[in-house]
Structure 1
Amino acid sequence: MSRPLPPASSGTRRRAIAWAALAALGVALLGALSTDLGDWYAGLRQPAWKPPDAWFGPAWTAIYATTALAVLQAWGAAPTRARRDGVLAAAGINAVLNIVWSLAFFRLRRPDWALAEGLGLWLSIVLLAVVCGRERRSALWWVLPYLAWVTFALALNAAVVRLNGPF
Structure 2
Amino acid sequence: MKLIISILVPLLVGAISGLFTSSGVNGWYATANKPWFNPPNWIFAPVWTALCILMGIALFLVWKSEAEKTVKQTAIILFAIQLALNFFWSFIFFKLQLPGWAFAEIILMWIMIFITILWFGKISSAAAWLLVPYISWVSFASVLNYAVWKLN
Contact 1:46 1:159 in 2 (8 A): yes
Contact 1:87 1:132 in 2 (8 A): yes
Q: Does 1:18 align with 2:4?
A: yes
- Structure 1, unpaired ranges of 5+: 1-14
Q: Distance in 2 between matches of 1:78 and 1:141?
A: 19
TM-score, length basis structure 2: 0.93
Deviation at 1:77, TM superposition (A): 2.1
Give the percent of matched residue pairs that are identical in Structure 1 and Structure 2.
32
Q: Distance in 1 between matches of 2:137 and 2:7?
A: 20
Give the number of the structure whose residues are more often helix, by fraction. Answer: 2
Deviation at 1:78, TM superposition (A): 4.1
CA RMSD of aligned residues (A): 1.2
Distance 1:54 1:146, change over 3 A: same
Q: Does 1:54 align with 2:42?
A: yes
TM-score, length basis structure 1: 0.85
Q: Distance in 2 between matches of 1:56 and 1:129?
A: 23
Q: Distance in 1 between matches of 2:133 and 2:26?
A: 28
Q: Does 1:71 align with 2:59?
A: yes
Q: Deviations over 1:79-102 (max 9, x none)?
A: 232222122201110111000100
Q: Does 1:39 align with 2:6?
A: no
Contact 1:28 1:64 in 2 (8 A): yes
Q: Distance in 2 between matches of 1:118 and 1:23?
A: 20
- Structure 2, unpaired ranges of 5+: none
Pick from 108, 111, 119 the counterpart of residue 99 of structure 2: 111
Contact 1:75 1:135 in 2 (8 A): no
Residue number in structure 2 paired with 1:12: none
Q: Does 1:155 align with 2:134?
A: no
Alignment: residue pair count: 150
Q: Distance in 1 between matches of 2:51 and 2:67?
A: 26
Q: Deviations over 1:69-128 (max 9, x none)?
A: 111112222423222212220111011100010000001000111001011110111011
Residue number in structure 2 paired with 1:88: 76
Deviation at 1:19, TM superposition (A): 1.7
Moved more, 81-90 or 123-132: 81-90
Deviation at 1:138, TM superposition (A): 1.2
Larger Rg: 1
Residue number in structure 1 paired with 2:15: 29
1:68 maps to a residue whose letter is G
Q: Distance in 1 between matches of 2:134 and 2:126?
A: 14
Deviation at 1:39, TM superposition (A): 2.8
Distance 1:125 1:109, change over 3 A: same
